[in-house]
Structure 1
Amino acid sequence: MCHALIVEDNSNFRQSLRETLLARFPFMSIEEAEEGGEALRKLNAFSPEIVFMDIQLPGMNGLELTRSIRAGHAGLVIIVLSSYDLPEYREAARQCGADYFFSKVYNTSQDITGLVDTILSGKPETADGMRITS
């Protein structure tokens, strides 16, 4: 079973992502958080393998939260989500320790399930379009 944590303040997007993931991965256990403090509590209690991290959150933003999580959880896969597919956002996500950058606007539900497929298959190098390389 795979555990995933969705950190997203937009409840409609969070629910849509959850439904998309469960439709393709019914074995996935999913927790949700609306902001950084809740995300950190759930991260420690739930121990997910994959975190979907919105870049803009109330309080601690998703980049700060990614840096904080990465410091204590090196093996965790972090996918930064953003409505803005800008090179500077991708670079900031990479510098904070994110593994992938996913544009909410330019990618489809098939793109996100394809990305998760590659992560779960152990072949993340096949997700070049979204993988953040150094």
Structure 2
Amino acid sequence: MTTVLIVDDQPLQRYGFRMLLESQPDTEVIGEAAHGAEAVRLAADLRPDVVLMDIRMPGMDGIEATRRIVAGGGRSRILVLTTFDLDEYAHAALRAGASGFLLKDARPEELLAGIRAVAEGDAVVAPAITRRLLDAYAHHLPVRPPGAAPVEDPRLEALTEREREILLAIAQGWTNSEIAQRLVLAESTVKTHVSRVLGKIGARDRVQAVIFAYDRGLTRPNPPVAG
């Protein structure tokens, strides 16, 4: 059973999410919050598997609430709801520790799949879309000169050669099946490697692993798409 905390300043929006989630046998709504401060308090008290987080709210917004919930060290993962898939606020939420993004006008089945994916530690959108979102995020980072050496980090040194290869594949937005095909590995072996990589670098999920790779210069964002 996946437990969910709904955070949105609009009562009707919260009601709609609750009705959808309570219609599912594998999800349970254990609380609702109308603003960020209440979300932080309830996340600490209720320890939900997933926090369904709106970004734009009065008082403490979803970005700060995400940052505080993640900093609290609990097991809750944050699924951010955005109005636009390249919203500048979404980039800040990603930086704050959100595990993924979903548009507010997503179909019910997409929302449910997203919640389940986040609960399992995966990204909530298709890897290609994840890559596009993260590329847009990465263009807000300081520009690293071409050919610049990766940033030294003891966590990188802890990775085996194969694990570093897996990390680079994750940073390219490849699915486990794509990694298995390209590296000629069993998919179960890839899952084991991915789990070990996330553990060694201290990443909560694949999205955070991509940020880790960007920040240390292991991969570079794709050029922005014109038009």
TM-score (norm 2): 0.52
Per-residue CA distance 1:46-83 (angstroms, 9 max, x = gap): 11111011001110110011111110135321011122
Q: Which amino acid aligns with 1:67?
A: R
Query: Could you tell me how far apart the structure 1 residues matched to 2:85 and 2:125 are?
Result: 16
Query: Which of structures 1 and 2 has the bigger CA Rg?
Result: 2
Does the 8 Å CA contact 2:47/2:75 hold for their aligned counterparts? no
Q: Which amino acid aligns with 1:3?
A: T
In the alignment, which residue of structure 1 is the partner of 2:110? 111
Describe how 1:24-39 pairs up with structure 2 within 5 A. Answer: 24-25=24-25, 27-39=27-39
1:91 is displaced (CA, Å) by: 1.8
In the alignment, which residue of structure 2 is the partner of 1:4? 4
Q: Which amino acid aligns with 2:43?
A: L
Identical-residue share of aligned pairs (%): 33
Query: Could you tell me how far apart the structure 2 residues matched to 1:52 and 1:126 are?
Result: 12
In the alignment, which residue of structure 2 is the partner of 1:85? 85
3-state SS of paired residue (1:98): coil
Does the 8 Å CA contact 2:63/2:89 hold for their aligned counterparts? no
Q: Which amino acid aligns with 1:58?
A: P
Does the 8 Å CA contact 1:81/1:102 hold for their aligned counterparts? yes
- Structure 1 range deviating more: 52-61 or 75-84: 75-84
1:43 is displaced (CA, Å) by: 1.6
Question: What is the root-mean-square deviation in Å for CA atoms of aligned residues?
Answer: 2.2
Query: Could you tell me how far apart the structure 2 residues matched to 1:74 and 1:59 are?
Result: 23
Report the number of matched residues: 132
Structure possessing the higher relative contact order (Cα contacts under 8 Å, 6 or more residues apart): 1
Change beyond 3 A, Cα 1:126–1:100: closer
Q: Which amino acid aligns with 1:40?
A: V
Change beyond 3 A, Cα 1:4–1:123: closer
Higher helix share: 2
3-state SS of paired residue (1:115): helix
Describe how 1:1-134 pairs up with structure 2 within 5 A. Answer: 1-25=1-25, 27-73=27-73, 75-105=75-105, 107-120=106-119, 122=120, 124-125=122-123, 127-128=125-126, 129=129, 132=207, 133-134=210-211
Higher strand share: 1
Does the 8 Å CA contact 2:81/2:101 hold for their aligned counterparts? yes
1:13 is displaced (CA, Å) by: 0.9
Change beyond 3 A, Cα 1:47–1:104: same
Q: Which amino acid aligns with 2:113?
A: G
Query: Could you tell me how far apart the structure 2 residues matched to 1:102 and 1:126 are?
Result: 7
Does the 8 Å CA contact 1:66/1:98 hold for their aligned counterparts? yes
Q: Unaligned stretches of 5+ in structure 1? A: none
